Structure 1
Protein backbone atom coordinates (compact mmCIF):
# COMPACT_ATOMS: atom_id res chain seq x y z
CA UNK A 1 0.00 0.00 0.00
CA UNK A 2 2.81 2.42 0.84
CA UNK A 3 4.28 1.89 -2.62
CA UNK A 4 0.97 2.82 -4.23
CA UNK A 5 0.62 6.14 -2.43
CA UNK A 6 3.05 8.12 -4.66
CA UNK A 7 1.28 6.77 -7.72
CA UNK A 8 -2.13 7.76 -6.38
CA UNK A 9 -0.88 11.24 -5.48
CA UNK A 10 0.59 11.63 -8.97
CA UNK A 11 -2.69 10.57 -10.57
CA UNK A 12 -4.70 13.06 -8.50
CA UNK A 13 -2.31 15.91 -9.28
CA UNK A 14 -2.38 15.01 -12.97
CA UNK A 15 -6.17 14.95 -13.01
CA UNK A 16 -6.42 18.32 -11.27
CA UNK A 17 -3.85 19.86 -13.61
CA UNK A 18 -5.67 18.53 -16.66
CA UNK A 19 -8.93 20.02 -15.38
CA UNK A 20 -7.32 23.40 -14.78
CA UNK A 21 -5.71 23.34 -18.22
CA UNK A 22 -9.03 22.40 -19.82
CA UNK A 23 -10.42 25.83 -18.97
CA UNK A 24 -10.09 28.37 -21.75
CA UNK A 25 -8.80 31.63 -20.29
CA UNK A 26 -9.35 33.46 -23.57
CA UNK A 27 -13.00 32.41 -23.61
CA UNK A 28 -13.24 33.49 -19.98
CA UNK A 29 -11.81 36.90 -20.85
CA UNK A 30 -14.34 37.34 -23.65
CA UNK A 31 -17.24 36.24 -21.45
CA UNK A 32 -16.04 38.54 -18.67
CA UNK A 33 -15.86 41.52 -21.06
CA UNK A 34 -19.34 40.77 -22.43
CA UNK A 35 -21.16 39.93 -19.20
CA UNK A 36 -19.24 41.01 -16.09
CA UNK A 37 -17.24 44.12 -16.84
CA UNK A 38 -20.27 46.41 -16.80
CA UNK A 39 -20.51 45.99 -13.02
CA UNK A 40 -17.10 44.74 -11.88
CA UNK A 41 -15.10 47.03 -14.18
CA UNK A 42 -12.98 46.30 -17.25
CA UNK A 43 -10.05 45.24 -15.07
CA UNK A 44 -12.16 43.47 -12.43
CA UNK A 45 -11.25 45.97 -9.72
CA UNK A 46 -14.88 46.61 -8.77
CA UNK A 47 -17.15 49.60 -9.16
CA UNK A 48 -19.54 51.23 -6.69
CA UNK A 49 -21.09 48.40 -4.64
CA UNK A 50 -19.71 45.70 -6.95
CA UNK A 51 -16.67 43.98 -5.43
CA UNK A 52 -13.24 43.60 -6.92
CA UNK A 53 -12.59 40.20 -8.43
CA UNK A 54 -8.86 40.61 -8.94
CA UNK A 55 -6.60 38.64 -6.65
CA UNK A 56 -9.32 36.06 -6.02
CA UNK A 57 -8.47 32.39 -6.29
CA UNK A 58 -10.00 30.55 -9.26
CA UNK A 59 -11.62 28.03 -6.89
CA UNK A 60 -13.28 30.89 -4.98
CA UNK A 61 -14.64 32.41 -8.21
CA UNK A 62 -15.96 29.05 -9.42
CA UNK A 63 -17.53 28.26 -6.06
CA UNK A 64 -19.30 31.62 -5.86
CA UNK A 65 -20.61 31.37 -9.43
CA UNK A 66 -21.87 27.84 -8.80
CA UNK A 67 -23.59 29.03 -5.62
CA UNK A 68 -25.26 31.90 -7.45
CA UNK A 69 -26.24 29.60 -10.31
CA UNK A 70 -27.94 27.32 -7.77
CA UNK A 71 -29.99 30.33 -6.62
CA UNK A 72 -28.37 30.55 -3.19
CA UNK A 73 -27.91 33.93 -1.55
CA UNK A 74 -24.40 34.63 -0.23
CA UNK A 75 -24.17 38.37 0.04
CA UNK A 76 -25.72 41.77 -0.55
CA UNK A 77 -25.48 41.50 -4.34
CA UNK A 78 -26.99 38.01 -4.57
CA UNK A 79 -30.21 39.33 -6.10
CA UNK A 80 -28.10 40.80 -8.92
CA UNK A 81 -25.75 37.86 -9.36
CA UNK A 82 -28.25 34.99 -9.30
CA UNK A 83 -29.97 35.97 -12.58
CA UNK A 84 -26.58 36.59 -14.21
CA UNK A 85 -25.22 33.21 -13.17
CA UNK A 86 -28.32 31.14 -13.91
CA UNK A 87 -27.44 30.51 -17.56
CA UNK A 88 -23.71 29.87 -17.02
CA UNK A 89 -22.56 26.41 -18.01
CA UNK A 90 -19.91 24.47 -16.11
CA UNK A 91 -17.55 25.38 -18.95
CA UNK A 92 -18.41 29.09 -18.67
CA UNK A 93 -17.70 29.01 -14.94
CA UNK A 94 -14.40 27.18 -15.44
CA UNK A 95 -13.35 29.66 -18.13
CA UNK A 96 -14.28 32.70 -16.03
CA UNK A 97 -12.52 31.26 -12.99
CA UNK A 98 -9.40 30.50 -15.02
CA UNK A 99 -9.29 34.02 -16.42
CA UNK A 100 -10.10 35.84 -13.18
CA UNK A 101 -7.87 33.60 -11.09
CA UNK A 102 -4.84 34.97 -12.92
CA UNK A 103 -5.67 38.67 -12.65
CA UNK A 104 -3.31 40.51 -10.29
CA UNK A 105 -4.71 42.65 -7.47
Structure 2
Protein backbone atom coordinates (compact mmCIF):
# COMPACT_ATOMS: atom_id res chain seq x y z
CA UNK A 1 0.00 0.00 0.00
CA UNK A 2 2.81 2.40 0.88
CA UNK A 3 4.43 1.73 -2.49
CA UNK A 4 1.21 2.62 -4.32
CA UNK A 5 0.88 5.87 -2.39
CA UNK A 6 4.52 6.77 -3.11
CA UNK A 7 4.00 6.05 -6.83
CA UNK A 8 0.92 8.27 -6.86
CA UNK A 9 2.79 11.10 -5.14
CA UNK A 10 5.72 10.78 -7.57
CA UNK A 11 3.36 10.84 -10.56
CA UNK A 12 1.58 13.92 -9.19
CA UNK A 13 4.87 15.75 -8.69
CA UNK A 14 6.07 14.91 -12.21
CA UNK A 15 2.74 15.98 -13.68
CA UNK A 16 2.96 19.29 -11.84
CA UNK A 17 6.53 19.72 -13.09
CA UNK A 18 5.46 19.20 -16.70
CA UNK A 19 2.47 21.49 -16.37
CA UNK A 20 4.69 24.20 -14.88
CA UNK A 21 6.99 24.13 -17.89
CA UNK A 22 6.62 27.02 -20.32
CA UNK A 23 6.49 25.10 -23.60
CA UNK A 24 7.26 28.14 -25.78
CA UNK A 25 10.29 29.11 -23.69
CA UNK A 26 11.48 25.49 -23.75
CA UNK A 27 11.04 25.36 -27.51
CA UNK A 28 13.06 28.53 -27.99
CA UNK A 29 15.85 27.29 -25.74
CA UNK A 30 15.92 23.94 -27.54
CA UNK A 31 15.95 25.38 -31.05
CA UNK A 32 18.57 28.02 -30.24
CA UNK A 33 20.89 25.92 -28.09
CA UNK A 34 20.30 22.18 -28.34
CA UNK A 35 19.08 21.37 -31.83
CA UNK A 36 22.48 22.01 -33.41
CA UNK A 37 23.86 18.89 -31.74
CA UNK A 38 20.83 16.81 -30.73
CA UNK A 39 18.98 17.44 -33.98
CA UNK A 40 15.71 19.16 -34.87
CA UNK A 41 13.70 16.18 -33.60
CA UNK A 42 15.99 15.40 -30.62
CA UNK A 43 16.97 12.03 -32.10
CA UNK A 44 20.67 12.81 -31.84
CA UNK A 45 23.33 13.34 -34.47
CA UNK A 46 26.77 11.77 -34.81
CA UNK A 47 28.11 11.27 -31.27
CA UNK A 48 25.38 13.40 -29.70
CA UNK A 49 22.77 11.23 -27.98
CA UNK A 50 19.06 11.12 -28.64
CA UNK A 51 16.89 12.96 -26.14
CA UNK A 52 13.66 11.72 -27.70
CA UNK A 53 11.66 9.49 -25.40
CA UNK A 54 13.41 10.66 -22.23
CA UNK A 55 11.22 11.71 -19.35
CA UNK A 56 11.41 15.18 -17.85
CA UNK A 57 12.91 14.03 -14.54
CA UNK A 58 15.85 12.33 -16.32
CA UNK A 59 16.52 15.38 -18.50
CA UNK A 60 16.22 17.74 -15.54
CA UNK A 61 18.63 15.66 -13.49
CA UNK A 62 21.20 15.52 -16.29
CA UNK A 63 21.02 19.27 -16.96
CA UNK A 64 21.41 20.00 -13.24
CA UNK A 65 24.40 17.66 -13.10
CA UNK A 66 26.06 19.38 -16.06
CA UNK A 67 25.24 22.81 -14.63
CA UNK A 68 27.05 21.78 -11.43
CA UNK A 69 30.12 20.96 -13.52
CA UNK A 70 29.95 17.22 -12.94
CA UNK A 71 31.12 14.86 -15.67
CA UNK A 72 28.75 12.02 -16.59
CA UNK A 73 29.87 10.90 -20.01
CA UNK A 74 32.01 11.47 -23.06
CA UNK A 75 30.20 14.69 -24.03
CA UNK A 76 30.40 16.29 -20.58
CA UNK A 77 33.05 18.70 -21.78
CA UNK A 78 30.56 20.05 -24.31
CA UNK A 79 27.50 20.00 -22.08
CA UNK A 80 28.95 21.60 -18.96
CA UNK A 81 29.58 25.01 -20.59
CA UNK A 82 26.16 24.89 -22.27
CA UNK A 83 24.33 24.11 -19.03
CA UNK A 84 26.39 26.37 -16.76
CA UNK A 85 24.16 29.43 -17.16
CA UNK A 86 20.78 27.69 -17.22
CA UNK A 87 18.42 28.77 -14.49
CA UNK A 88 16.12 26.35 -12.66
CA UNK A 89 13.29 27.75 -14.80
CA UNK A 90 15.28 27.17 -18.01
CA UNK A 91 15.92 23.56 -17.02
CA UNK A 92 12.23 23.02 -16.18
CA UNK A 93 11.17 24.54 -19.50
CA UNK A 94 13.71 22.56 -21.54
CA UNK A 95 13.05 19.22 -19.88
CA UNK A 96 9.29 19.72 -20.09
CA UNK A 97 9.41 20.73 -23.75
CA UNK A 98 11.69 17.87 -24.82
CA UNK A 99 9.78 15.19 -22.91
CA UNK A 100 6.41 16.35 -24.22
CA UNK A 101 7.32 17.03 -27.84
CA UNK A 102 9.90 14.41 -28.76
CA UNK A 103 8.49 11.01 -27.82
Please give the TM-score of this superposition, normalised by the length of structure 2: 0.84
Matching of residues 5-84 of structure 1 within 5 Å: 16=13, 17-84=15-82
> Once the 2 structures are TM-superposed, how far is the Cα of residue 93 of structure 1 from its aligned partner?
0.3
Please give the TM-score of this superposition, normalised by the length of structure 1: 0.82
> Once the 2 structures are TM-superposed, how far is the Cα of residue 26 of structure 1 from its aligned partner?
1.6
Structure with bigger helix share is 2
**Whose radius of gyration is greater, 1 or 2?**
1
Distance 1:63 1:75 in 2: 14
* Structure 1, unpaired ranges of 5+: 1-7
Equivalent residue for 1:96, pick from 85, 94, 97: 94
Aligned residues: 96
What is the aligned-residue RMSD (CA, Å)?
2.0
Distance 1:60 1:31 in 2: 18
Q: Deviations 1:77-96 (Å, cap 9, x if unpaired)?
A: 00000000000000000000
Deviating beyond 6 angstroms after TM superposition, the runs of 4 or more aligned structure 1 residues are: none
* Structure 2, unpaired ranges of 5+: none
